[in-house]
Amino acid sequence: MKQAKTLIRCILLDGFIFTFLALVALVVSIQPTEETMLKMGNNVMIFFGLWALGGVLVFILQKAKIKTLGNILFDPPQALTAQPDKHWTMSFWGIELIVAFIVAFITGLNVAHISIYELTDQDGLVGAMKVFGALFDPNWTILPKAILAVIETIFIAFMATVFAVPVAFVLSFLCAKNIMGSNPVSFGIYATLRTILNVTRSIEPLIWAIVFSVWVGIGPFAGMLALLLHSVASLAKNYSELVECVEEGPIEAIVATGASSLQVVWFAVVPQIILPYTAFTIYRWDINVRMATIIGLVGGGGIGTMIMQYQGQAMWEEVGCLVFVIAFVVWVMDTTSAYIREAIK
């Protein structure tokens, strides 16, 4: 049973590494045109075909008792016999690791178009210096406007956090395995909510901002809604993890007094989580201020929107002023929230 599990994991991991190496070799030797690279159906078949071959290769290696990288990672520790006379770079898995890394590195150089030539290009350098210089020579006349805009940003973040907290608070209990895991119905609710929240969280607030700016119009409200959604999903996850590690003792004691379920949660669970909840909430507000800036870039209001307007007109001195204001606010929020979180630990 355990061996079968390890074998499957090895086929997945080592098989994938072999597939990757084979694919790189294939691309280098055939030099396919862009058209062939875009033929999804064909390429998927080639990919899985190679993976199957890789799997067979892994299977053979396993039968031959050759330790692959998968064995090193997934075998139980006692199954690994030490080979003191053999340096790890001389073993099969060592060579596998080194080759895979070197091939991935060279592929990466090409795919990311990394080029020293572009980096040191004269025209490019001059342009970059101009923008950079302007950023360090801010136009302070727009400072009052920038301050008003950043206040808007801070309040967008604040409202998103305030509205998210009660929702996430309720959700956190419904998303905690120790509270919901006891019967099939509640476990169903738990699993469904977790999935929805995971999906919500994995969609960037930037995307939500675009959705909401179409829905309620461009401006701070759209930005607030985007942050709210993301905050609910993130806080519910943070909070529910705290609920999952509460101590059972006080819960048992309050249950033993004959208290109702709601009283048990309120008297035995809440006191244990209230401070870490507060810490996460402050941290979330801090994150939200930074995110609100980014969201402003796509029309979520606040200082981000202002940056977008000035950089569209290449007014770099003005952008410089805004960047300075943002940096200052983020620094203050960051320091304060870290200090408060430390204090309430």
Instruction: CB nearer to other proteins: give 7 or 255.
Output: 255
Letters for 96-135 (x = contact with other proteins by CB under 8 A, - = none) are ----------------------------------------
Number of residues lying near other proteins (CB under 8 A): 19
CB-neighbour burial class of residue 232 (10 A; exposed 0-12, middle 13-18, buried 19+): buried
Q: Binding segment for other proteins among 68-76, 169-177, 214-222, 250-258 (CB under 8 A)?
A: 250-258
DSSP code of 136?
Answer: T
Site for other proteins in 195-224 (CB under 8 A): none
Select from 250, 290, 294, 324 the one that contacts other proteins (CB under 8 A): 250
In the bound complex, what is the minimum distance in angstroms from residue 185's beta carbon to other proteins? 15
Counting contacts by CB under 8 A, is residue 253 touching other proteins?
yes
Instruction: CB nearer to other proteins: give 228 or 268.
Output: 268
Counting contacts by CB under 8 A, is residue 252 touching other proteins?
yes
Report, in this order, helix, strand and coil percent for the chain, each rounded to 5: 85, 0, 15
Counting contacts by CB under 8 A, is residue 255 touching other proteins?
yes
Site for other proteins in 258-317 (CB under 8 A): 258-260, 262-263, 266-268, 271-272, 274
Counting contacts by CB under 8 A, is residue 254 touching other proteins?
yes
In the bound complex, what is the minimum distance in angstroms from residue 281's beta carbon to other proteins? 17
Residues 235 and 265: their CA atoms lie apart, in Å, by 19
CB-neighbour burial class of residue 214 (10 A; exposed 0-12, middle 13-18, buried 19+): exposed
Name, in order, each residue with C-beta under 8 angstroms of 143's C-beta and a sequence gap of 6 or more: 321, 325
Q: Binding segment for other proteins among 48-56, 74-82, 157-165, 244-252 (CB under 8 A)?
A: 244-252
Q: Binding segment for other proteins among 136-144, 152-160, 227-235, 245-253 (CB under 8 A)?
A: 245-253
The dihedral region occupied by 258, where left means phi > 0, alpha psi between -120 and 50, and beta the remainder, is: left
Instruction: CB nearer to other proteins: give 94 or 250.
Output: 250
Counting contacts by CB under 8 A, is residue 257 touching other proteins?
yes
85: number of CA atoms within 13 Å, CB side?
0
**Contact (Cβ atoms closer than 8 angstroms) between residue 243 and residue 172:** yes
In the bound complex, what is the minimum distance in angstroms from residue 265's beta carbon to other proteins? 10
In the bound complex, what is the minimum distance in angstroms from residue 104's beta carbon to other proteins? 45
In the bound complex, what is the minimum distance in angstroms from residue 336's beta carbon to other proteins? 24
Residues 154 and 333: their CA atoms lie apart, in Å, by 10
Instruction: CB nearer to other proteins: give 112 or 256.
Output: 256
Q: List b or e across 252-278, with b for residues whose CB sees 16 or more CB atoms inside 10 angstroms.
A: eebeeeeeeeeebbeebbeebbeebbe
Instruction: CB nearer to other proteins: give 121 or 247.
Output: 247
**Contact (Cβ atoms closer than 8 angstroms) between residue 154 and residue 329:** yes
Counting contacts by CB under 8 A, is residue 185 touching other proteins?
no
DSSP code of 265?
Answer: I
* Element of type H or E holding 5: helix 2-30
Binding positions for other proteins, rule: CB under 8 A: 249-250, 252-260, 262-263, 266-268, 271-272, 274
